[in-house]
Amino acid sequence: MSQENPEEVKVLEAQIECLQAESLSFIHLHRLYMCGQRQEEGEKVLSKLMEEVEKLEEDLERQTQMNRISLKSCTTKTLQSSGSKLVQQLSVSGHCSEMAFQVEFKLSENKVIHFIRRITDLNVVMDASDLQTFSSFLSEVEESRDLLLFFRTLRTFSDRSDDRCRTFQHFQAKYPSVVSLPGGCRSEFLWFSIISAALQLFPSQAVGGAAESFQSLLRILGPEAALESVIRAVSLSQDTQLASHLLV
């Protein structure tokens, strides 16, 4: 008996530790649930919970708006929880503008040594097959485990992409016969399809270095007017070969 008991205690303690780790965050909710089942307190609990959920919904909306990142799911799995060290596996998915992403990483916290929080094993999944410049950036981010840099860049990138989209749609609406959208309005190459035509246009006018000419146009007129003047020149040009470059 006296030998069995410590054994049993050990087993039970291990079991409890396991269960606690699994349901740590649900303990207070469970209490709520138990209260909620009792008739007299049920409504009170329900309305309180509803209030809390509403407030959280508001918080999330504010956060989504401010961060321009809409999160769809976040799953957390505790890998290690011993005294001062906590290791969690996180998987977060969502989208920024029209770019969907999923990131997975380990987050470890050490509460004893200056409360250090560290990210390891970062893995980023994005459908960036048509965004060549972005895919090389992703591998850099994974290597340096720079999660924050990824989201900062994603935000800026999608903002720029939105700007480009608006600009391109503006020009397409204004000059539908000259400007086309070869790679869709979000393609990162849309500027190039116009500029490359422009670069071919300038040498024929014998102005000198093509790139320099466009650069000086940019400086003098700003991007919108510069592009507009190029498009006009192309559409006025009798050279059908040149005009065709824009329609590739």
Partner 1 sequence: MDGADSKGVLNQLSVLEVRARSRNTQPQQQCCVKELRAKAEALKIQRDQLEAEAQIHKVLHKLRMSMEKQCPHEEEEAMDEESENTQLLQLMARHTQLKDLLYAHHVIGGYDVIKTPQSKGVCMSLTTAYEGIYLDTYNLEIDLKHKLTITRHNIPPFIPLKDLAKQSNMQTNIRAFLDTLSLHLNAFTGRKQQLKFVKEQHQSITVMESNVLCSRLVLMFTVPRGKNAVLCRLDYTDHTRCLPTGVQFVCEDEELLDSPEWKKNCSLLKETPVHKALTTMKKNGSIV
Q: How many CB atoms lie within 10 A of CB 236?
A: 9
The token pair at 148 is 């924050």
Among the listed ranges 41-49, 125-133, 168-176, 205-213, the one in contact with partner 1 (CB under 8 A) is 41-49
Interface with partner 1 includes 185 (CB under 8 A)?
Answer: no
Residues 106-145 that bind partner 1 (CB under 8 A): 107, 116-120, 122, 144-145
Which CB atom, from 77 or from 232, has the smaller least distance to partner 1? Answer: 77
Least CB distance to partner 1 at residue 221 (A) = 23
Cα torsion angle, 155, 161, 164, 165, sign: negative
**Size of the chain in residues:** 248
Q: What is the DSSP string of 145-177?
A: T-HHHHHHHHHHHHHHHHHHHHHHHHHHHH-TT
- DSSP 8-state assignment for residue 208: S
Which CB atom, from 1 or from 248, has the smaller least distance to partner 1? Answer: 1
The label of the residue with tokens 């204004």 reads: 174
Among the listed ranges 150-158, 179-187, 195-203, 215-223, the one in contact with partner 1 (CB under 8 A) is 150-158
> Are the beta carbons of 218 and 226 closer than 8 angstroms?
yes
How many residues contact partner 1, by CB under 8 A?
67
Interface with partner 1 includes 14 (CB under 8 A)?
Answer: no
Which of 40, 79, 82, 147 is the binder for partner 1 (CB under 8 A)?
147
Interface with partner 1 includes 71 (CB under 8 A)?
Answer: yes
> How far from each other are the two terminal CA atoms of the chain, in whole angstroms?
87
Which CB atom, from 128 or from 210, has the smaller least distance to partner 1? Answer: 128
> Are the beta carbons of 105 and 82 closer than 8 angstroms?
no
The phi, psi pair for 166, rounded to 5°, reads: -60, -45
Least CB distance to partner 1 at residue 215 (A) = 22
Which of 38, 44, 46, 232 is the binder for partner 1 (CB under 8 A)?
46
| Spatial CB neighbours of 67, under 8 Å, sequence gap ≥ 6 | 151, 155
User: Using CB under 8 A as the criterion, which residues of the chain lie in contact with partner 1 when the complex forms?
Assistant: 1-2, 5-6, 8-9, 12-13, 15-16, 19-20, 22-23, 25-27, 29-30, 32-33, 36-37, 42, 45-46, 49-50, 52-53, 56-57, 59-60, 62-64, 66-69, 71-76, 90, 92, 103, 107, 116-120, 122, 144-149, 151-152, 155-156
